[in-house]
Structure 1
């Protein structure tokens, strides 16, 4: 959920109302999704906060789509090729850097999610997301190592 004042989203959750420009007669809009109670009960604690964390974790992991996995598989295959021109090698190195950065961004985003004790479902989903991202990052790093040995 996000608060919006005068068309601008408030990004700092710890800011005071006056510091973000909210004063008497200000219009504040709350943006978010209406949560179905049956979905909230699917998390271990039944707490709406845990459900929100699970949703946040899912959005982060969803940035790594099947398209990203396909790109990694393609990168692995190209990295094993013996005959590459200097231009192709440079493009392939750039692709490897891009894929590594994408995985690292996902890991950093997951690291920023703090799951309190008792939110077992959220903690488990975060763990799964981290393992999945690390697995893909490992594949990219392995392909980069193979590519460097094929020089």
Structure 2
């Protein structure tokens, strides 16, 4: 959820109302998603905070789409080709670096999500997201190793 005052988003959660420009007759807009109570009850604790964490984790993991998996499979296949020109090798190396970085960004983002004790559903989803990202990163690293042995 985000607060908006006079069209500007308030980024500092610890700021006082007057320091961010809120005074009498100010118009404040609250931006966020309406939570469906049935979805909140699907988490173990039934806590809306845990539901928000689950949503945040899902958004992070969703950055790794089926398209990314297809790119990794394509990279693995190209890494096994022994007869590549220098230009093709360079492009393939760049693709490997790009895919590794994408997986690392996902892992770092998941690492930044702190799930308090008792939020079992959120903790489980985060754990699954980390394992999935690590699996894909392992595939990229293995293909890079194969590519380096084909030099």
User: 1:73-110 CA distances to partner (integer Å, 9 max, x unpaired)?
Assistant: 00000011000000000100110111011001101110
Q: Secondary structure at the match of 2:3?
A: strand
Residue 63 of structure 2 is aligned to residue 63 of structure 1: yes
- Work out the CA distance in 1 between the residues paired with 2:45 and 2:98: 38
Could you say if the C-alpha distance between residues 14 and 101 of structure 1 is closer, same or farther in structure 2, counting changes exceeding 3 Å? farther
Displacement of 1:9:
2.2
Unaligned runs of 5+ in 1: none
Q: 1:18 to 1:148 in 2, by over 3 A?
A: farther
Q: Aligned in 2, Cα 1:107/1:12: closer, same or farther, shift over 3 Å?
A: farther
Q: For residues 135 and 16 of structure 1, do their structure 2 counterparts lie closer, same or farther at Cα, with a shift above 3 Å needed?
A: farther
| Deviation at residue 118 of structure 1 after TM alignment | 0.3
Q: How many residues align?
A: 151
Q: How does 1:2-151 map to 2 (within 5 A)?
A: 2-151=2-151
Which SS does the other structure have where 2:76 is aligned? helix
CA distance in 1 between partners of 2:98 and 2:52 (Å):
30
What's the offset of the Cα at 1:53? Answer: 0.4
Cα RMSD (Å) of the superposition? Answer: 1.2
CA deviations on 1:52-77 (whole Å, 9 max, x unpaired) are 10000000000000000000000000
Cα distance in 1 for partners of 2:141, 2:73 equals 12
The verdict on how the C-alpha distance between 1:131 and 1:15 changes in structure 2, with shifts beyond 3 A counting, is farther
TM-superposed CA distance for 1:7, in Å, is 1.9
TM-score (norm 1): 0.94
